Amino acid sequence: MKVALVCDWLTNVGGAEKVLLELHKLYPEAPIYTSKYDPKGIDWFKKADVRTGWLQIFPSKMRRVLGPLRQMYFSRLNLSEYDLIISVTGAEAKAVKSGKWLHEKGKKSLNPKGIHISYCHVPTQYYWQMYDSYIKNPGFGILNPFVRFFFRLFVRPLRTADFRAAQRPEYFVTISEYAKDAIKRYYGREAKVIHPPVEIEDFILGNKPMKSQEMQAGKGSNNSGISQGSKIVKLDNDSEISQDNNYPQLVENFNITRTYITTSRQVNWKRIDLAVKACLMTQRHLLVVGEGPEHKKLVKMAAGSNLVQFLPLQKKKDLAILLKGARGYLFPSLEPFGIAPVEALAAGCPVIAYGQGGALDYIRDGKNGILFPEQSTKSLAEAILRFEKRKFNAKKVSESVRGYSVARFDKEVRDFINGKTK
């Protein structure tokens, strides 16, 4: 088959980009069409045939205000020559038209049998299910009042255009039951759930014993001061984080088994602020791993407390060590799936998650983690205290997500495509 891959943008590393990378491995000769490509922000596709258009002239920082232009760009992209188009999208890339769609509409098509399968993470969130949150905090600082005004003014025609675009793919695939329900609710389309690929083999709980294989969450918190300045994070299982990163803040003799951890791109809708506030409220230690536009705000929120420490993005082997030793993983975000908490579970680290969204597909309350009902500091703090009264077997926690592997994703995608292209 002649295959084309399409994605909203390629400017940074995230879950959607991991899906696209795996599809690129399945179809290495397929060109990748996107609105904006920044190889400095993501270096995974240097050998791929990445094709951009006129939107490439805009700076990456403007991505969030270019939705209408992206919709125009993708809807006018002529990909009718391809037998198969696969879009990986949570925004506008689903607007591309297949040869079959054009043919059925009585328009010129280079391949009347060519189909479009959209691997849609979720309906465009700022138009639909997260509209209220976006209006509350668009994330533009002092420009927020202007963004709110114009977004309220234009959201109705933008929703109409987004709905129209969602009628173009012949088939929808999505990442969770939550996303499947949202696609049905907002687009009126059925979708097949194929969970995204997670490199669980890199995080899977190994044979090397931890200090206590039968891990008890409630051992009490370590509220003693943490000294700064070491270039090694030492763990109770005799492992050490490598020294080849220039960490801005590091700790000496860091007792990871008494510490909660969260790893995420630091943007406002990830709600890492709830993790920081809840740990300050309960006087528990928290390690925040990652970077992003909310970083300075989160550091200021921690107010120099020795309870909260920050680390930049980690290599997988170092992150795996931290996750294997951590007391628990905090996941306060509402997400259609969430690859990071699945990585934590694979490492044997139980997860405290907001009880909505994709987390319901893999969190078993009381078995491999705890769910909390409200996206608030109080609800998360109460969940932490409940969590500490439970015992979690690290091996069983790890085994609970063995079915989310890359190999499983590859097989399910191939089977689905083969069933639709015969």
Which uninterrupted H or E stretch holds 173?
strand 171-174
Sorted by where each starts, the structural domains of the chain and their CATH numbers stand as 3-197+406-421 (3.40.50), 200-403 (3.40.50.2000)
Residue (of 185, 186, 131) closest to 164 by Cα position? 186
Q: Give the three-state DSSP class for 141.
A: helix
Q: Are the C-beta atoms of residues 380 and 280 closer than 8 Å to each other?
A: no
Q: What is the pLDDT of residue 304?
A: 77
Mean of all residue pLDDT scores within the chain: 85
Q: How far is CA 341 from CA 10, 195, 228, in A?
A: 23, 14, 28
> Within 96-237, where are the H helices?
99-104, 131-136, 144-165, 177-187
Q: Are the C-beta atoms of residues 37 and 11 closer than 8 Å to each other?
A: yes
Average pLDDT estimate for 342-361:
95
**Spatial separation of the C-alpha atoms in residues 51 and 171, rounded to whole Å:** 24
> Within 293-405, where are the H helices?
295-302, 316-325, 339-346, 377-387, 394-399
Using pLDDT thresholds of 50, 70 and 90, give the confidence band for residue 255.
low
* Lowest-confidence segment of 4-13, 230-239, 401-410 by average pLDDT: 230-239
Q: Does the pLDDT of residue 218 top 50, yes or no?
A: no
Percent composition of the chain: helix, strand, coil (DSSP 3-state, to 5): 40, 15, 45
Spell out where 257-414 has E strands: 259-263, 285-289, 308-311, 328-331, 351-354, 369-372, 391-393
Q: Are the C-beta atoms of residues 350 and 392 closer than 8 Å to each other?
A: yes
Length of the chain: 422
* DSSP code at position 31: -
Residue (of 243, 248, 218) closest to 232 by Cα position? 243
**Spatial separation of the C-alpha atoms in residues 315 and 245, rounded to whole Å:** 9
**Beta pairing partners, 325:** none
Q: What is the pLDDT of residue 256?
A: 63
**Spatial separation of the C-alpha atoms in residues 398 and 418, rounded to whole Å:** 32
Phi, then psi, of 351 in degrees rounded to 5: -115, 135
Q: Does the pLDDT of residue 319 top 70, yes or no?
A: yes
Which uninterrupted H or E stretch holds 72?
helix 67-75
**Spatial separation of the C-alpha atoms in residues 232 and 251, rounded to whole Å:** 7
Q: What is the pLDDT of residue 253?
A: 39
Q: What is the pLDDT of residue 132?
A: 80
At which residue do the structure tokens 């909505």 appear? 356
**48-102 pLDDT, tens digit each:** 999 999 999 998 777 777 888 999 999 999 999 999 999 999 999 999 999 999 9
**Residue 229 zone, left/alpha/beta (φ > 0; ψ -120 to 50; rest):** left
